[in-house]
Each structure stands twice: as structure tokens, then as C-alpha cells.
Structure 1
Amino acid sequence: MAAQFGLRLRKGAATTALAAATVAALAASQAPGVTTDSAGRQTAGSPSPEATTYSEDTASGDGRYYTDLPPLDSPNPSPGTGDGSTTAGSGERGIPATVLDAYKKAEASLRDAKPGCNLPWQLLAAIGKVESGQARGGRVDASGTTIGKILGPQLNGNGFANISDTDNGAYDGDATHDRAVGPMQFIPSTWEWAGRDGNSDGAKDPNNVYDAALAAGHYLCRFNWDLADSGNLRSAILSYNNSTAYYNTVMSWLEYYRKGTHEIPDGTGSLPHTPSDNGGGTTGNGNTGNQGGSGSTKPSPSPTPPNKDKPGGGKPGGGSTPTPPTPPTPPTPPTKPPTNTDTVHHLEAAGPAKLTATAGAPFTDRIAARTETKAGKAVAKVRVRFTVVGDTDTTFTGGEKVATVVTDSTGKATAPGLVAGEKTGAVTVRATVVGRTVAALDYTATVTARRADALARTTTTELTCVANGEFAEQVAVKATYKGAVAGKVAATATLIKSPLDPTENDKGPYFKNPADGKPLRTLTGLQTDKDGLLTLPKLYADAAPGTYLLRIETEGGATLTVELKVEAAPTEATPTEATPTESASPSAGASQ
């Protein structure tokens, strides 16, 4: 299906040679100094291009992918052909409708959840093309679930990574070794923590393109990677499959889809032809279009039965009993030396015994574990997975709850920094050895509530009102902790009887219950805002004049007592009746 530099590829030896040569050349041009093998994978001793501190499990287990490159013509439909679904090569250029919708919905979700990641849906489309040919050309049902599972080859070390079963075959149907699963080819151990519910049906199914696309988006956005940065983009792609050729192939499709694309009906997409291992390795489960290969290994022929027509060949009376031919002895497979992981007997705590942080703040100390043999000898180059378990919003830096770290020369693996969430209490972080069943090591980190050690009013206005009236100004305070703003700190406000009796008063000023308007003299569940500010509801006064006290307290011990004065209502003056002026008597002696 693929064309490289104007030459359409066909299956066969020539195709394989051309694909390998082209990919190797492209890899060399984009990654100077990196040594690759004939399949474009990094050879032993080559530095990892991403060179990140944390060696996260690759999403696909570095399994099989497809090396077919985009055609030279435009990904947009030709003029006059509608959606392009009937034109030659349209299945190669277009993206099946449901699959395309899943990619775009995942991009929209990540835009809200992790806006700093800048994930383009075209990157998901490029990885989906390389991993499974867009879910085998869009063979999905109405809900986005693939029609038949897409399984990669058995990861048994034969041309691929050696990953023993981690899911009891729950996802991949293989209880011996893991296989990559679904349209985005997640290995079960990675899906266990990276899986997402992309279609809101309450399940996390790696075979559903909505779930798989959203999981791939979150996987690519971990560690605060900004995919608009070329270095972060490279690290993210290589974390999916640590192969330079893989990176180059994905980038080719990413640039192709960025030029434009179009929607085609589900099930009409073309299938890729050129696997990265040239068809080698263990085949898949035999499903049609299985990424692991739809063929099956031919059974060994049965030993040739004895020829009954020869003398003594088993006929009655034919002489001595014939000796059956001895079946050939199968060759003894070479004994593989134990890997570093195979020698790990247990995990030992190598970090601080106690970790505490205030809600929303980073933990100062970091969790660490050491891998050791039974004799207590340190084991280097072993992957240790740290997982934040339970119902908590505490995460590692970057918002992830899982990180895998390779032990150093002393056998020590140090987890990324923890960031406390808003939920207070104990948090469990579990360390396990990837690829080896040994007892897990649990660490307890404690998240304490945000605190304030000082409160102050934001104004100095005297708070007064008349009986049966309302206070003109609302009480507003600012909380600080060690001189810094104390945001999101829990607080209470109580109208108390006296400095020596902090119980709730039964008269004087009051708040109004928002539900029924009745007097309320204690407020709980208050919280300062991000700037440490808290404004209380309006205060009212009953008929009792006097001086009253409002006490505000915060988590951490900050206390402020505010004085409230209620003055007696002025008495209305009774109007005085004027006495009419009597008429003057006639002067004595006045003549009549």
C-alpha cells in the first residue's frame, strides 16, 4: 500500500530491501551519531535519543510496527470525488470515519486536561497508522471496538522484547508472554495504568479506538512534555517504541496528515504490507488482519510410519516384531543466561521513612527503592515501577500516577518528585519490579491540610449598626503563613459569648441561613481564595444592643477576634402640645 519517493512498494525481497535501505537512510539523516541495525533499531551501546531521567515502559513493548511510508500525492481527496472513497488509493490517503473521530475527540480532551501538551490529533493518526493501519482499515463496530482483536507477536525475546505474562492473558489471551493489544498496540502492563475510558461507557478497553486513542494521548503527554517542542515530541514518540526507524516513520505520517486528510467509510482503509521485522518473529493469534500476522506456524510432520509391506513389517506371521523408527531428538535450545531482572530477589527501601507535604505543595523528599539479590547484592539496570495507588489526587510531577525508573549502578531507583493533591491523609506509593514477581514495597506519604498562622482584616473601619438593623460592611480578612499568602485554607467563623467563653452566642449579631433566612451564628466550611482572602456574608443585628465578638479561626491555628457594636435604636420623640396663649386682661382702671 505504501509508496516511497514515487516508487510504490510491493511485497517481496525487493520491497524489504528497499524499505530497509530507505528507512536506514532516513534515520541516518535525522539522527546523526545513532547506530542502527538493518531494521533501523538502535544497536546495543547506542545512546538513547531521548536521554530522559526516567525510563518509562514503551507503550508497545518495542514490538512490531509497519514501515510503509506515505504516498507522494496529496492526502486530500481529488476534486469532484466527494469524500474520495471511490478513488484509487483513497483508502491509503484517508482515515476511516470512526477512527478519525476518536483521534479528534482525544485531542479535544487533552486540550482541556493537559493544555500545555499541545497534542495534535495527527500524531495519534500517525501512530495509529504505523501500529495497526488505522485499526486494520477501520474495521470497527459502531462503538469503535475493533471487529476481532488486533494482537502483536508474542514478546518472547524472539526478535522482540522478552516480556513475561503480566495480565494472566486477560487482554491478549496469552498466559505465557505479553502481546501488544488493540489499534494503538498497548502491552497489558502499560494499559493497566495508562488505559482510559474515551467513549464514556464505563470501561477501559484497549480494543476500543476511543479508549485507545485517549490513552495514547495521555501517554504521550506525560512528564509535562510539550509536543510543540521538537525534542519533547521525539522523546514522546520514542517512548512509544524505542526505535529511530519507528520515530522517522511516525514523523513521515505526521507531516503527511498535517498537510490535510479526509474521512473515508469505516472498513475501506488499506492495510499496511511491510512489518518492521519483515514478517519474522512469532505470529499472532490467527485473527484476520492480525498485526502479529494472520498465518500460523506449520506443524512439524509426524514421523513416517513403518512400511507394512516390507518383510517383518508388522503383518501377522511376518517374523520378528519390527522395531519402530526412533523419532528424531529435538535439539536442546541454548540456555539463556539470566538477565539482571532474573536475579532480583527483593526490594529494599532506599529513601526516607517519612514523607509529608502540605496540600498542593511538592514533597521535599523523594521515594527510592533498591533491587537486591537473595544475598543482598545490588542489581543494576532493572526497571522499577512506582505507582500512586488508592483514591487520591496526589501525583508525580507532570500529573501522572505511574513512573518506571531504571536502577543505577548501586541498584537504586529514585521515583520522580511527588506533588500533594488537595485530598488530605495518607497516600500509598507502591514499588514493583517490572518483569519479575517479587514482593511489592509500599511507602506512605502524608498530605496535610493547608495552613495559616496569621489573620488580619483588610480594612480598619469600625463595625457598627443599630438594633434590628444590618452592618453596612462585610467582614473581610487575609490569611498568611510564614509571611506568604495562605490560599485555600479552611476556616470557621463564630459569634462567641466572650474572650473567655468561645461558645456560640445566643443573641446579638447573626448571619442569615441561606436556606431559610433564620439566624446563624457559626459558619463552617469556609475557605480562603488563592490570594488568601476571605469575605464573610453580611451580618445582621437583633434587638439587643451591646458589644459583641466574632472569632475567625483557620487550619493551622490562626485566630482573629473582631469587635461588633450594636447601638440601641433611637427613641422617637413624643410631640409636645403647644398651650394656647391667653388673651391679655384689660388694664386695671381702664375705662369701660
Structure 2
Amino acid sequence: MAAQFGRRLRKGAATTAVAAAAVAALSASQAPGVTTDDHGRQTTGAEATPDPSGDDTATGNSRYYTDLPPLDSPNPSPTTGTPVSTGDAEAGIPATVLDAYKKAEASLRGSKPGCNLPWQLLAAIGKVESGQARGGRVDASGTTYSPILGPVLNGNGFANISDTDNGAYDGDSTHDRAVGPMQFIPSTWEWAGRDGNGDGKKDPNNIYDAALAAGHYLCRFDHDMSVQSQMNASILSYNNSTAYLNTVLSWLEYYRKGTHEVPDGTGTLPSHNSDDNAGASPSPTPTAPSTPSPRPSTPKPGDGGSTSPSPDPSTPSTPSTPSPSPTPPTPTETVDHLEDAGTGKLTATAGDTFAEKVAVRTETEAGKAVAKVRVRFTIVGDDTDATFTGGESVATVVTNSAGTATAPALVAGEKTGDFTVRATVVGRVMAGLDYTATVTPRQADTLTRTSDTALTCVPGGEFADQVEVKATYKGAAADKVAATATLIKSADDATENDKGPYFKDADGKTVRTLTDLTTDADGVLKLPKLYADDTTGTFLLRINTTGGATLTVELKVAAATS
């Protein structure tokens, strides 16, 4: 394994005390609805329902470090030349890794301010997942010098996740593995990945990309990290284990007390894994799956070879141990297909929330509904800016007792046209269901002037008042509605006039048709100044909007009266 940097953490009483404190803090903060199942996993409603397959967590419930922080509080800035305590050593975070966490926090503060994500939470997860990228072994761009891979997720001690990326991220075309300093499995990285360093790539091996992705992952579903129960649910979605939650919370509180920057490659490395109580290799690097020993066969009479000696009639026979009964299939394993569950027509105006929601039902081959199955809904493609409520393009919902999963409400963006919402079963390879959703342009059905002042001008002059109108749709202000304005020849001839009033472009040239106009947030549209040539008379300005609203405004050009 790689060399250890710094000193290993004290175990025994120190870690026991910290663990007890963490559990006590967690219990005190636990909100109603947070429960623990028979396997010691904590749940907070549908989003945190245990997923044995691990396919719907960030890490696939893979290996993590179990070392806890030391008891002595960290010194944010150790004095040079003084002995470095265990606390000071552990509080040191490699420079590039620390920078990535803080940049991710700043980015999320702008894009999802309601999440209140502290960078110390990313640091806590980074510590538990990879020991801060193996003590900060990253290059100047934040990419690890060698891949950090979790164990093969083949069901041998971990979840069984068949390959989803053809080995593109993890080098394994048979099973998936957690990848990078924040340990994302390929299927999660595919939709959660972000470009955190602006190089145009989404690389799970880059700490800037991985930290930003982790931040967005934690903040989905509108979770607020300042609310303890919501933070707990987000951490559990990263790795669905109460022990994992307690460990992350312990490091979070430790880092909040103080940290300092250390050179890349000199951070301390943890030494204990969640799957290694004896303290074997701590590095989440590739390991060959162990091969179970073959079960010794029991000789049968008549099949050749040696046979067991005949029992002594005077010796009571020992009852044979019954063979374990077959493990019943999980609900997910019984699903044969997805059926639509009454999804209506998916249409919304740009910027609005869709009235209908996508709903599907998981069924067995015989058509029986299956409850407690995770269904993933994904907005497919880059040609739409629509999202689910909360701003994400992916949402996972557990089927109810009727086998139905209903996606969160869709919110239309500003891009119009069709897009696809795909429903798939998490942990199963089977055909999904695709739904077409349509975003229509914003529209108005009525246009009115905001003033009744007559619009007049002398030949060769400038109109004193600008034309201002308000657009409404079904009585409400119609914001961001596209409009055009044209000076027309007559009420019956909407072609552009070649004389009379006109607008000016940026170069001062005559323009009699304006396009690409948009109403403001209040539905108001104010046109540029109008000018008159030497032609006198009454002229018409026609304004049209998306949705069919039309208004014709009268303009008069006459010589000044003495």
C-alpha cells in the first residue's frame, strides 16, 4: 500500500469517546420520521429507504474509512517549530483539495443558496471516502496521480452492481466500482458529474469536479444542510449506513473547530476500513475478489468412492443441520416490466410548472404490482433546460403499496419544444418507459396601452411620448412574452409602410419593424422613440405577441398649429 503520511489516529478510548459524542449529537438532532431499520441503517422517508443493491447511492454503499477524529481540538494555524499534535496533524487538509471544497461551496452558494452547504461537510465526506484524495496526491489541476478505486461491487461483501459504463470510469467491464476522491459509482456519476475546474470535462478522478458533484448530489431534493434531519438524509444517500453517517458527522464537527492548509501529498491517511475490522489495507485501491472455498461434498451411497462408516446402533445419531432456506428475492428482483400509471399529457408554458406528473407502476411478469422498488426518472438530452422541482434532472422515488412511483413535478425552462422523461428501475437491466413533454412559448391574449395620451408629431420631428403597452394572459401579467412591432400601411394591409413614422437602429438608420421584443417581469413592453419624416397624415403601428394578442396604435403627423 502507499506510504503513510503523518501519524495514524489514536484508537481505543479516544475514538470510542468521539463515537459516543457523535451518536449522542445525532440522537439529539434526529427529527421525527428518522428511524433505524433491522440492519442498522437509518431512513428518512422514501429518499433514504435502504437500497441493498447500492445502485442508487453515490458510492454504491462501498468501502469507507472508519477512523474517527482525535480528541484534542485542532489548532487552525499551528506555530512553526512547535511539536505538531495529533489534532493539528489531522486538521491539515492538502492545499488543492481544500481549495476544491471551498470553490464547490462558493459555487453552490450561488446556484443553490437554500442548500447552505458548508465546505467542511465535503471535507468530512472526502476524509471518509478517500483520506482527502490519499493525503492530497493530486496534480496542479486537481486530478489524482493514480485512480482511486473502491472494491469490485460483485456482491462479495458489497452490493452487486453489474457494469454500467463498459469500464470507461472504473476499468471494469463486468461490475462497477466506486471511483475517485469522492468515490462515485459510474451510474451515479453519469448524471451527477460536474465540471468544477472549467476544463470542459467531468472527471470523477479530479477533486474539483468530484467535490462540486458531491455538493450538487447532497443539495438535490431542495435539501437544506442547516436542517439536521435534511443533512442526515443527504449523507445517508451517499452511503446508506448509520455508522457512515456518524463517522461523517464526527469529522464535520471536527473540521468546523478549525483546519489549516498543508502541502499536497502530505496529508494524514486513515488506517481502518468499514470492511476490515482487523485493520488490513486501508487504501481504497483495486482488490481481487476473493474466491469462496468450495463446499465439501457429502458422499452418497452408490456413487463410488469412500463412504461413511455405518453408524453404531448403540450410539445416538446426531441430527443433521438443516440446509439454509433459499434467500427470497428482493422486490426489485421480482420486477419484470414498467407500466404507465395514468400519466396525462405533459405540456407547460415556458417557466411554468407542469400540471401533470409522470407516474409508472412496477409489475411482475404476471402483472402484479411490486411495492418498495426504486424508480429513477431522468430528463434526457441537452436540448432542454426543464428540471424537476428542486432544479435537478434526475429524481428517484420508491413505489408505494400499489407499486406506483410518481415523479416530482416538472418545471419548464425557457427552451421551447419537446424533451424526454425516462423512467427506469434502479438495480435492474430492463426496458424503461419514455414520455414526451412539451414546452410551449410564453403567450399573451391581450395587449393594452398603459397611457391614453395621443401620439402626435410634427413632420421631421420626434414623438414626445414612447409607446408603452402591457400584455396579459387570462387576466394576469404576461412576462417574457415575445413580440414584434411594425409600422403598417393600413388596417387591412399589414405590410411594412415605406413612409411616415419610423424607429432608428443603433447606427441611426430608419427601421419600421422591430423584432425580438420581450415583455418585462410585469408584462410591460416599452418601445424605442419614434420619429417622423416629412409625410403628414395618420399612421398605424401594430404590435403582435406570441399567443395572438394584437394591438394597433394610431400615430398622427401634422404641421404645428399657430
Distance of aligned partners of 1:272 and 1:101 in 2 relative to their CA distance in 1, 3 Å threshold: same
Work out whether 1:210 is the aligned partner of 2:204.
Answer: no
1:388-427 pair list within 5 angstroms? 388-390=379-381, 391-427=383-419
Contact 1:198–1:213, Cα closer than 8 Å, also in 2: yes
Distance of aligned partners of 1:62 and 1:262 in 2 relative to their CA distance in 1, 3 Å threshold: same
Which residue of 2 is the match for residue 584 of structure 1?
none
Which residue of 1 is the match for residue 456 of structure 2?
464
Q: Distance in 2 between matches of 1:204 and 1:148?
A: 17
Contact 1:54–1:404, Cα closer than 8 Å, also in 2: no
Correspondence for 1:129 among 127, 130, 144? 127
Correspondence for 1:511 among 488, 500, 503? 503
Q: Distance in 2 between matches of 1:425 and 1:87?
A: 61
Task: Please say which structure displays the higher CA radius of gyration.
Answer: 1
Which residue of 1 is the match for residue 70 of structure 2?
71
Contact 1:151–1:290, Cα closer than 8 Å, also in 2: no
Aligned to 2:348, the other structure's residue is in SS state strand
Letter in 2 for 1:500: D
Task: For residue 365 of structure 1, report the CA deviation from its aligned partner.
Answer: 0.9
Task: For residue 370 of structure 1, report the CA deviation from its aligned partner.
Answer: 1.4
Which residue of 1 is the match for residue 427 of structure 2?
435
Distance of aligned partners of 1:409 and 1:46 in 2 relative to their CA distance in 1, 3 Å threshold: farther
Correspondence for 1:451 among 440, 443, 446? 443
Aligned to 1:256, the other structure's residue is in SS state helix
Which residue of 1 is the match for residue 10 of structure 2?
9
Which residue of 2 is the match for residue 229 of structure 1?
227
Task: For residue 177 of structure 1, report the CA deviation from its aligned partner.
Answer: 2.3
Which residue of 2 is the match for residue 62 of structure 1?
61
Distance of aligned partners of 1:505 and 1:280 in 2 relative to their CA distance in 1, 3 Å threshold: farther
Which residue of 1 is the match for residue 557 of structure 2?
566
Which residue of 2 is the match for residue 359 of structure 1?
350
Which residue of 1 is the match for residue 23 of structure 2?
27
Which residue of 2 is the match for residue 311 of structure 1?
none
Q: What does the per-residue CA deviation read over 1:133-173, in whole Å, with 9 as the maximum and x for residues that have no partner?
A: 11111111121111221112222333332322222222122
Distance of aligned partners of 1:289 and 1:199 in 2 relative to their CA distance in 1, 3 Å threshold: farther
Work out whether 1:139 is the aligned partner of 2:144.
Answer: no
Contact 2:42–2:241, Cα closer than 8 Å, also in 1: no
Contact 2:353–2:410, Cα closer than 8 Å, also in 1: yes
Which residue of 1 is the match for residue 96 of structure 2?
98
Task: For residue 61 of structure 1, report the CA deviation from its aligned partner.
Answer: 1.6
Which residue of 2 is the match for residue 540 of structure 1?
531
Task: For residue 553 of structure 1, report the CA deviation from its aligned partner.
Answer: 1.1
Task: For residue 435 of structure 1, report the CA deviation from its aligned partner.
Answer: 1.6
1:109-508 pair list within 5 angstroms? 109-279=107-277, 290-291=283-284, 336-390=327-381, 391-508=383-500
Q: Distance in 1 between matches of 2:176 and 2:132?
A: 22
Letter in 1 for 2:334: T
Letter in 2 for 1:523: L
Which residue of 1 is the match for residue 314 of structure 2?
none
Task: For residue 406 of structure 1, report the CA deviation from its aligned partner.
Answer: 1.5
Aligned to 2:395, the other structure's residue is in SS state strand
Task: For residue 483 of structure 1, report the CA deviation from its aligned partner.
Answer: 1.2
Distance of aligned partners of 1:568 and 1:18 in 2 relative to their CA distance in 1, 3 Å threshold: closer
Work out whether 1:553 is the aligned partner of 2:538.
Answer: no
Q: Distance in 1 between matches of 2:403 and 2:544?
A: 49
Contact 1:149–1:290, Cα closer than 8 Å, also in 2: no
Contact 1:54–1:406, Cα closer than 8 Å, also in 2: no
Aligned to 1:218, the other structure's residue is in SS state helix
Which residue of 1 is the match for residue 45 of structure 2?
51
Distance of aligned partners of 1:250 and 1:48 in 2 relative to their CA distance in 1, 3 Å threshold: closer
Distance of aligned partners of 1:173 and 1:333 in 2 relative to their CA distance in 1, 3 Å threshold: farther
Letter in 1 for 2:74: P
Aligned to 2:422, the other structure's residue is in SS state strand
Q: What does the per-residue CA deviation read over 1:555-592, in whole Å, with 9 as the maximum and x for residues that have no partner?
A: 11111111100013679xxxxxxxxxxxxxxxxxxxxx
Q: Percent identity?
A: 70
Q: What does the per-residue CA deviation read over 1:402-432, in whole Å, with 9 as the maximum and x for residues that have no partner?
A: 0111222222111111001111111110111
Which residue of 1 is the match for residue 300 of structure 2?
none
Task: For residue 53 of structure 1, report the CA deviation from its aligned partner.
Answer: 5.5
Q: Distance in 2 between matches of 1:54 and 1:392?
A: 29
Q: Distance in 1 between matches of 2:29 and 2:93?
A: 35
Distance of aligned partners of 1:482 and 1:47 in 2 relative to their CA distance in 1, 3 Å threshold: farther
Task: For residue 232 of structure 1, report the CA deviation from its aligned partner.
Answer: 1.9
Identify unmatched segments of 5+ residues in structure 2.
Answer: 295-305, 307-322
Distance of aligned partners of 1:42 and 1:150 in 2 relative to their CA distance in 1, 3 Å threshold: farther
Distance of aligned partners of 1:53 and 1:351 in 2 relative to their CA distance in 1, 3 Å threshold: farther
Q: Distance in 2 between matches of 1:33 and 1:224?
A: 19
Q: Distance in 1 between matches of 2:127 and 2:21?
A: 21
Distance of aligned partners of 1:205 and 1:335 in 2 relative to their CA distance in 1, 3 Å threshold: farther
Contact 1:476–1:535, Cα closer than 8 Å, also in 2: yes
Letter in 1 for 2:538: T
Aligned to 1:274, the other structure's residue is in SS state coil
Contact 2:376–2:396, Cα closer than 8 Å, also in 1: yes
TM-score by length of 2: 0.85
Contact 2:94–2:266, Cα closer than 8 Å, also in 1: yes
Q: Distance in 1 between matches of 2:77 and 2:541?
A: 76
Q: Distance in 1 between matches of 2:443 and 2:533?
A: 34
Q: Distance in 2 between matches of 1:73 and 1:21?
A: 12
Aligned to 1:221, the other structure's residue is in SS state helix
Contact 1:379–1:411, Cα closer than 8 Å, also in 2: yes
Q: Distance in 1 between matches of 2:277 and 2:144?
A: 22
Distance of aligned partners of 1:298 and 1:553 in 2 relative to their CA distance in 1, 3 Å threshold: closer
Q: Distance in 1 between matches of 2:424 and 2:526?
A: 48
Q: Distance in 2 between matches of 1:78 and 1:419?
A: 47
Q: Distance in 1 between matches of 2:83 and 2:556?
A: 80
Aligned to 2:234, the other structure's residue is in SS state helix
Work out whether 1:530 is the aligned partner of 2:521.
Answer: yes
Q: Distance in 2 between matches of 1:255 and 1:398?
A: 27
Distance of aligned partners of 1:47 and 1:459 in 2 relative to their CA distance in 1, 3 Å threshold: farther
Task: For residue 375 of structure 1, report the CA deviation from its aligned partner.
Answer: 2.4
Task: For residue 52 of structure 1, report the CA deviation from its aligned partner.
Answer: 4.6
Task: For residue 267 of structure 1, report the CA deviation from its aligned partner.
Answer: 0.8
Task: For residue 276 of structure 1, report the CA deviation from its aligned partner.
Answer: 2.0
Aligned to 2:472, the other structure's residue is in SS state strand
Q: Distance in 2 between matches of 1:343 and 1:505?
A: 71
Contact 1:456–1:477, Cα closer than 8 Å, also in 2: yes
TM-score by length of 1: 0.81
Distance of aligned partners of 1:181 and 1:47 in 2 relative to their CA distance in 1, 3 Å threshold: closer
Q: What does the per-residue CA deviation read over 1:509-555, in whole Å, with 9 as the maximum and x for residues that have no partner?
A: 011122x3221111111000111111001101111000011111111
Contact 1:81–1:87, Cα closer than 8 Å, also in 2: no
